[in-house]
A and B are shown apart, each in its own frame.
Chain A
Amino acid sequence: MTKTDYASVMARKGDIMLSSLGIDYGPFMAHPVMFDYEALMGLVPYDIEQIRQVQASAGVGRTAMIELRQITRLARKLAPKGKGARIFVKDEAANPSGSYKARRAALSLHHAEQAGFKGVVTATSGNYGAAVASQAARRGLDCVVVQEVFDSHGIGQPEILEKGRACEIYGAEVAQLSVGPELFYSFLRVLEETGFFNASLYTPFAIAGVEPLGFEIVEQMQEATGAAPDVVICTHAGGGNLTGTARGLRKAGADQTRIIGASVDLTGLHMASDTDFNRKHFTTGHTGFGIPFAGWPDRTDVPRNAARVLRYMDRYLLLKQGEVFYMTEALARLEGLERGPAGNVSLAAAFALSQQMDADQTIVVQETEYAGAGKQPSAQLSFARDRGIEIFRGDCEAEKPGQNVIIPDKPERLRVRDVDMNKLRRGLVKKAVAMVKPADRDDRLLEFLAEETRLSHAEVSALI
């Protein structure tokens, strides 16, 4: 009988992952570091038009682009004369499961169906679970979601409880776990028990599914303004959102558009801590995922992660929790749009960045998400306040994650803070080089790492 203890299952993880993906990763694992990224993405046997057709037939995509005229006016009031770029938002909440994640799920599950799987499994904290469950329901596939929900007291924050409920309403079986990275062990066990497809967020299908989002942005901005946007801001966690959007922008010919990542700054809170778990007021789009995934993508449930942000990200900005809640309020009060948390991280960045850009330039915030019970600042901050987190007005710069949330006392407080991208890039190069024997550190490795990080050959060479 197959052993199901922790060590035995983890020892089989390579085999379990391979048999549950319907993708041959063999050619991409021959070298400890190097692989042909475009060939990996090339495993998706559809061009962007075909992907759009697959998604359209699943009710996904073609969401509205909305200009945020009031928020732009406010940015211009605060900005120096001639500054204040126009801000637009892509209303991805209109997708079937209420977020852009439906795009990733639609193509992944199309692939799973084609490959003959009867069901799908996904390990996710949130919107992606609902997206997979929704797309599985449409296709008559079984769906299991493995979700980290509770701390050791059985308490989950409202946003996470809502995301779990959403999975259930679409007919998924939800395994609700307490805090810990061994969620991966439970996930592997479900894959083994069921023989279902691993609907990972990080397969080439899950990334290619986002490309139409970038493509649509260019089409819609050309119609609205006559040009591709100057800046697109993506809320960044695992990297698929930014990677897929950037690839779609490039495929639509927008090679001058700057691609900026934005995350909520949760510095100091440990992602695997039972006590920190409910002291984070954002469940994704934060630095707990964003920084490690940017600096080393291959830490997921697939042998090679197709989401590789350093290949595409021009700049990476951090926002305070209080700033994002403030912009969520502004979006509702000034634009009449109540939307969930994820896109509002990018919106807060857009508001600050707009004031530094020329008034004839444009910024696209590339997602919104639905706002069901539990997802509002009122829900998340009531929960926080009940648990002793201080909430007050002031200068967000002093915010301490896990202790307080500082709501800006005036809109001038919102600002951009750059992550040192070169530090992330150099960290990736150093880690990669350490995995390769000195004799094998050749020009091909140098070329690969230069593409992987967009550092110059000279910079990579100096690190090797």
Chain B
Amino acid sequence: MTSLAGNWVQIHNIVLAPEERPNTLPAETRAVPLEMRVKGWQVTDSAEIGDQVSIRTVLGREQTGKLIAVNPEYGHDFGRVIPELLAAGDELVAMMRDIPKER
């Protein structure tokens, strides 16, 4: 996929390679790099996913990194009903019907 200058994109950088990370970290964290993702307007004329590109962030700061997405989705949502919680709610409502209302 070709992405052109002016697209709203996301870039990726390795901030610290595993060997640069403090040895006080848990092993599973130290086994992987510290990564950073930033979004901005693409400055590079034309690029493919995986290419190094320049972007201008919303504040106008220029940054470079590997192009990983064009206008990425937020993606998070409301999930699905949790039946265990819905049932708990139903029980509470039923329980309240048995309690006299206070003045």
Across the A-B interface, the 7 shortest Cβ-Cβ residue pairs = A382-B79, A152-B32, A379-B79, A161-B76, A374-B76, A333-B89, A158-B76
Binding-face segment, A122-130, A257-265, A311-319, A322-330: A322-330
B93 CB contacts on chain A under 8 angstroms: 333-334
Known: A161-B74, A177-B36. A182 touches B84 (CB 8 A): no
Chain A residues within 8 Å of chain B by Cβ, number: 67
A393 CA to B96 CA, complexed, in Å: 20
Known: A373-B78, A381-B79, A382-B80. A178 touches B96 (CB 8 A): no
A171 CB contacts on chain B under 8 angstroms: 58
Q: B66: CB under 8 A from chain A?
A: no
Choose from A119, A381, A383, A411 the contact partner of B92 (Cβ within 8 Å): A411
Known: A329-B88, A411-B92. A379 touches B25 (CB 8 A): no
A152 in contact with B35 (CB, 8 Å): yes
B92 in contact with A272 (CB, 8 Å): no
A381 in contact with B82 (CB, 8 Å): yes
B34 CB contacts on chain A under 8 angstroms: 177-178, 180, 182, 186
A177 in contact with B59 (CB, 8 Å): no
B16 in contact with A165 (CB, 8 Å): no
Tally inter-chain residue pairs, CB-CB below 8 A.
Answer: 159
Which single residue of chain B is at the shortest CB-CB distance from A270?
B26
Q: List 6 A-B contacts (CB under 8 A).
A: A69-B102, A152-B33, A178-B36, A333-B93, A382-B79, A392-B84
B58 in contact with A378 (CB, 8 Å): no
Chain A proximity of B23: nearest CB distance (Å): 12
Known: A74-B95, A272-B26. A382 touches B75 (CB 8 A): no
A172 CB contacts on chain B under 8 angstroms: 58
Q: Which of A153-210 contact B (CB under 8 A)?
A: 154, 156, 158, 161-162, 165, 168, 171-182, 185-186, 193-194
A275 in contact with B36 (CB, 8 Å): no
A186 CA to B21 CA, complexed, in Å: 13
Q: A70: CB under 8 A from chain B?
A: yes
A173 in contact with B95 (CB, 8 Å): no
B75 CB contacts on chain A under 8 angstroms: 161
User: Using a CB–CB distance below 8 Å, which chain A residues touch chain B?
Assistant: 5-6, 69-70, 73-74, 77, 119, 142-144, 149-150, 152, 154, 156, 158, 161-162, 165, 168, 171-182, 185-186, 193-194, 270, 272-275, 325-326, 329-330, 332-334, 373-374, 376-383, 385, 391-393, 407-408, 410-411
Q: B15: CB under 8 A from chain A?
A: yes
B35 CB contacts on chain A under 8 angstroms: 150, 152, 154, 177-178
Known: A374-B76, A379-B76. A185 touches B36 (CB 8 A): no
B37 CB contacts on chain A under 8 angstroms: 149-150, 175-177
Choose from A152, A161, A174, A377 the contact partner of B82 (Cβ within 8 Å): A377
Q: Which of B51-103 contact A (CB under 8 A)?
A: 57-59, 61, 74-82, 84-89, 91-93, 95-96, 99, 101-102
B79 in contact with A158 (CB, 8 Å): yes
A273 CB contacts on chain B under 8 angstroms: 26, 28-29
A332 CA to B90 CA, complexed, in Å: 11
Chain B proximity of A119: nearest CB distance (Å): 7
B57 CB contacts on chain A under 8 angstroms: 173
A272 CB contacts on chain B under 8 angstroms: 25-26, 29
A70 CB contacts on chain B under 8 angstroms: 96
Which single residue of chain A is at the shortest CB-CB distance from B79?
A382
B82 CB contacts on chain A under 8 angstroms: 325, 377-378, 381-382, 385, 391, 407
Chain B proximity of A170: nearest CB distance (Å): 10
A374 CA to B79 CA, complexed, in Å: 8
A411 CA to B101 CA, complexed, in Å: 19
A393 CB contacts on chain B under 8 angstroms: 84, 87-88
B59 in contact with A182 (CB, 8 Å): no
- Considering residues B22, B32, B78, B81, which has the most beta carbons from chain A within 10 angstroms of its beta carbon? B78
A185 CB contacts on chain B under 8 angstroms: 15-16
Which single residue of chain B is at the shortest CB-CB distance from A379?
B79
B47 CB contacts on chain A under 8 angstroms: none
B81 in contact with A181 (CB, 8 Å): no
A144 CA to B89 CA, complexed, in Å: 40
Chain A proximity of B32: nearest CB distance (Å): 4
A74 in contact with B99 (CB, 8 Å): yes
- Considering residues B29, B31, B32, B99, which has the most beta carbons from chain A within 10 angstroms of its beta carbon? B29
Known: A175-B38, A177-B35, A273-B29. A329 touches B77 (CB 8 A): no
B15 CB contacts on chain A under 8 angstroms: 177, 182, 185-186
Taking A165-B76, A270-B26 as known contacts, 17 extra A-B pairs with beta carbons closer than 8 A to each other, sorted by chain A number, are A142-B59, A144-B59, A149-B37, A161-B74, A161-B75, A168-B39, A177-B37, A178-B35, A182-B21, A274-B32, A325-B82, A373-B78, A378-B82, A381-B85, A391-B84, A407-B82, A407-B85
A410 CB contacts on chain B under 8 angstroms: 91
A174 CB contacts on chain B under 8 angstroms: 38-39
Which single residue of chain A is at the shortest CB-CB distance from B38?
A175
A376 CB contacts on chain B under 8 angstroms: 78-79
A410 CA to B35 CA, complexed, in Å: 44
Choose from A144, A194, A374, A377 the contact partner of B85 (Cβ within 8 Å): A377
